[in-house]
Structure 1
């Protein structure tokens, strides 16, 4: 990592373009476009997982960024907030691994040593080469970034690019997380009630009003009335739109209603 890296004129231009493109990033879509666009010119990869931590090291926000359609199970294994591979890498690296760190899954080179415990898992997922970096613990929260599936063996040069871009990644992710928290807090006129959340859960499961009524011990007409109020609250007109709006507002990430858990 200490080896002197001299950027070529083309690399300097790529770096400047990447930094400029990061400045207006405020939303998840913009973050995805940046990391899968200008960022890729310097650090090509298949998937990037971004983790935002709070002041007490709690996971506040996770972004899985990729340009192609990927299996939902793979994304869950990488970006799960409780035991995802990216989170385990972050915890492992915070226990003393020097950052940025690299893993060459071919098994060649000393760069593989700090992340060697993850070698077999990465090979099984088909994401051989790995590059990770993150900030130190900061009063306002820290961030950690994992590049999965680099097309070539990671080199100290790639780690240097990551080092240069880390402040811009950190600030961009912080802005995205803040924007999403503000959107969730101010998007609805009132919170979704526990009963409405139960009904929305079963709507997502494909249940009819009558079936939901049987599950909850109320009439189908009462379910319909709850749904109409929920539609007005969410600003939608049908079940499909209600589910989509609920996902956009991260409502399904809240605690699962007791009856839903028992079913």
Structure 2
């Protein structure tokens, strides 16, 4: 396990990337926007394929976690990461506190104890090599966490790993405030209808017309495979259709969800609860 020391920022490009990430965070209001932000602006500074976000909720009186993943991750592993009282998150938070609330990186193999053995094996099987954790606590009360984040990485090595931890320390105030803003906005939207955004209009239409009225069963299935990071060719081979047919489906999905790219389409589909089922079970009707 490593904890960071004061380090130079590095190249001018890295400085500019940090500024862009901080500035673009101000525009993030929704859950899908947060996912897109982490997959674009944060990737250059902290490459990762799994993001675990925790925010303290006063009603629950504990951190409540959510997960974003750009690669396939077993459901049991996601449950382990989102269980605030589970052995996995307790160990990661303990390592962070031991590092005096500085960013910590540990190899997946460093997860110790019988209680996390299954999670360690699942992470290794999914190709993850390291975890980076950081958060924010109340002033003078390090154990009273306001937020806690874990980033799962599949391949990071060398001095760049320490540099990325330093980037995370610089960006943590922005990540913290952005995630809390998203939580507030999502709670408000659950209580008050938002008729102004394209996503809300699509979600409302979906609810009025019933499941699948906007996105077909085949499109839901393709969205599921997009979430797994598969190409048009790979999806076509699985479904027994041509890559061109898959491309046409993807273009329809982007139009229906008013998404600019695949990552945004997946994020919006997640917000609309279109990906609760596996791609195999999502149906095949056109």
TM-score by length of structure 2 reads 0.56
Higher relative contact order (CA 8 A, sep 6+): 2
Change (3 A) 1:141 1:78: closer
Deviations along 1:181-203, one digit per CA (max 9) or x if unpaired, are 11222349xxxxxxxxxxxxxxx
Q: How far is the alpha carbon of 1:52 from its aligned partner?
A: 0.5
1:236 matched to 2:240: no
Q: How many residues align?
A: 194
CA RMSD of aligned residues (A): 3.6
What SS class does the counterpart of residue 137 from structure 2 fall into? coil
Change (3 A) 1:60 1:248: farther
TM-score by length of structure 1 reads 0.61
- Which of 181, 188, 205 matches 1:175? 181
Which of the two has higher C-alpha Rg?
1
1:1-263 residue pairs with structure 2 within 5 A? 1-55=4-58, 58-59=61-62, 61-80=64-83, 82-83=85-86, 85=88, 87-89=89-91, 91-93=93-95, 95-98=97-100, 99-105=102-108, 120=117, 121-126=119-124, 127-137=128-138, 142-153=146-157, 155-187=161-193, 236-238=208-210
Q: How far is the alpha carbon of 1:6 from its aligned partner?
A: 3.4
| Higher relative strand content | 2
- The answer for unaligned runs of 5 or more in structure 1 is 107-111, 189-231, 242-246, 251-263
Say if 1:51 and 1:62, in contact at 8 Å, map to a contact too.
yes
Q: Which runs of structure 1 show a deviation greater than 4 angstroms over 4 or more consecutive aligned residues?
A: 115-120, 138-141, 247-250
Q: How far is the alpha carbon of 1:131 from its aligned partner?
A: 0.6
Q: Distance in 1 between matches of 2:28 and 2:12?
A: 26
Q: Which residue of 2 aligns with 1:217?
A: none
Q: How far is the alpha carbon of 1:14 from its aligned partner?
A: 1.5
Say if 2:137 and 2:145, in contact at 8 Å, map to a contact too.
no
Deviations along 1:45-100, one digit per CA (max 9) or x if unpaired, are 11010000135883464321222344333322322355373x32454246544321
Q: How far is the alpha carbon of 1:149 from its aligned partner?
A: 2.3
Say if 2:107 and 2:131, in contact at 8 Å, map to a contact too.
yes
